[in-house]
């Protein structure tokens, strides 16, 4: 039994007085039920799906439906029309919309104009700004909605008309074998409307390039690579569509004193060999402007790291601060007075080797190694 042997209203389980919305709703429900993808290998379901698709193809068209209501199946036989006997097996876009949602069907209507493009702005700041945070302004040139036409693209006092190519749907369909392929309308580009008289200020695009001054709020604790989003400050969308976003990418300049690893600040501090030997106290400035006192233990060696808790960078969008690491570098004097040399010689004469266990152990290993070679 074919679709042309059963009443189309009966196939779609509708009354003959049903309106277009009721017919479409019933068709979608039945299409979901009998779709081959939901009934793999079921030939009866596949046949049923084709039959209801043929019926819906007829009844969704006002002219075809009127002819069918008056003449029945005979309206499409013996050259009576292209209708359901022509092999158009239905509105596949509607089926996809019902089964998979708007990802395929696009809502069955014209497309929404695409939003404007997102933009990127690279900003360089100092470590102090990254520590304290700051409010600053930037100037960029970006596409904005055209003021004379308010982003519509039409000359003031005029409007847009329905696209003749797609009938205002924003999409055109072409049959390729069994399937009906749906594409964006090439004339209106999915809008469903065509501007008859383009705005002279923007050329009909609804947007123009112009400079803008924007305020940027940089929070404390940012680092290189931190991204700040300014919603709606990107490029304006065409024909009044929503604008994109502006992303501020931060780059923190290299500091003269501190290196940074996440929230940890690292600084290398040279000290005299006498301070290293006897111990002492030094002061170094923090990024926050405060001076930090650092106790140097007696006998400290080059490369030793001291840590000041809570003296590093703030935690971004959090609480507390990281640490500061002070790496010690023992500096050997290069200019000595005669008296200083004399004192050092006196010190040298009193050395027993026990004062510097590292060097003593090294020379003992050297001696053992060469003794082994001699043997």
| 35 within 8 A of 49, measured Cβ to Cβ | yes
| 49 within 8 A of 64, measured Cβ to Cβ | no
Phi, psi angles (nearest 5°) of residue 192: 85, -5
CA distances to 33, 60, 107 from 94, in Å: 14, 12, 9
- If one counts every other C-beta atom within 10 angstroms of the C-beta of residue 343, the result is 12
CA 314 to chain centre: 26
Helices 20-34 & 43-59 angle (0-180, nearest 10): 160
- The residues, any chain, with a CB within 8 Å of residue 154's CB and separated by 6 or more, are 160, 195, 196, 197, 198, 199, 204
Binding residues for Zn(2+), by number, are 146, 149, 163, 166, 185, 188, 199, 202
CA distances to 5, 49, 79, 123, 196 from 82, in Å: 17, 20, 8, 64, 34
Binding residues, by number, are 146, 149, 163, 166, 185, 188, 199, 202
């Amino acid at each position: 039994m074919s679709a042309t042997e059963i009443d189309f209203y009966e196939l779609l389980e509708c009354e003959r007085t049903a309106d277009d919305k009721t017919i479409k709703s019933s068709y979608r429900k039945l299409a979901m039920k009998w779709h081959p993808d939901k009934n793999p290998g079921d030939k009866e379901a596949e046949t049923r799906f084709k039959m209801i698709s043929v019926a819906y193809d007829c009844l969704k068209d006002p002219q075809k439906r009127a002819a069918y209501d008056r003449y029945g199946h005979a309206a499409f036989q013996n050259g009576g029309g292209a209708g359901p006997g022509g092999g158009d097996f239905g509105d596949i876009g509607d089926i996809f919309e019902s089964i998979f949602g708007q990802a395929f069907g696009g809502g069955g209507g014209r497309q929404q104009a695409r939003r404007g493009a997102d933009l990127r702005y690279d900003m360089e700041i100092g470590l102090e700004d990254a520590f304290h945070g700051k409010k600053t302004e930037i100037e960029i040139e970006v596409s904005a909605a055209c003021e004379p036409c308010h982003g519509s693209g039409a000359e003031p006092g005029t409007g847009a008309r329905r696209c003749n190519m797609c009938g205002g749907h924003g999409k055109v369909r072409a049959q390729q074998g069994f399937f009906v392929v749906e594409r964006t309308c090439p004339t209106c580009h999915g809008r469903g409307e065509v501007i008859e008289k383009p705005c002279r200020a923007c050329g009909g695009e609804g947007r123009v390039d112009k400079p803008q001054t924007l305020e940027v709020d940089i929070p404390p604790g940012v680092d290189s690579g931190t991204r700040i989003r300014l919603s709606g400050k990107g490029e304006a969308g065409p024909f009044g569509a929503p604008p994109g976003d502006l992303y501020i990418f931060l780059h923190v300049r290299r500091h003269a004193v501190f290196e940074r690893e996440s929230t940890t600040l690292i600084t290398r501090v040279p000290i005299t060999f006498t301070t290293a030997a006897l111990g002492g106290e030094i002061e170094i400035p923090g990024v926050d402007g405060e001076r930090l006192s650092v106790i140097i233990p007696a006998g400290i060696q080059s490369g030793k790291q001291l840590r000041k808790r809570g003296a590093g960078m703030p935690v971004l969008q959090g609480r507390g601060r990281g640490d500061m690491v002070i790496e010690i570098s023992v500096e050997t004097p290069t200019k000595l007075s005669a008296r200083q040399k004399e004192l050092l010689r006196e010190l040298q004469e009193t050395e027993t080797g026990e004062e510097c266990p590292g060097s003593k152990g090294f020379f003992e290993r050297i001696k053992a190694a060469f003794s082994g070679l001699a043997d």
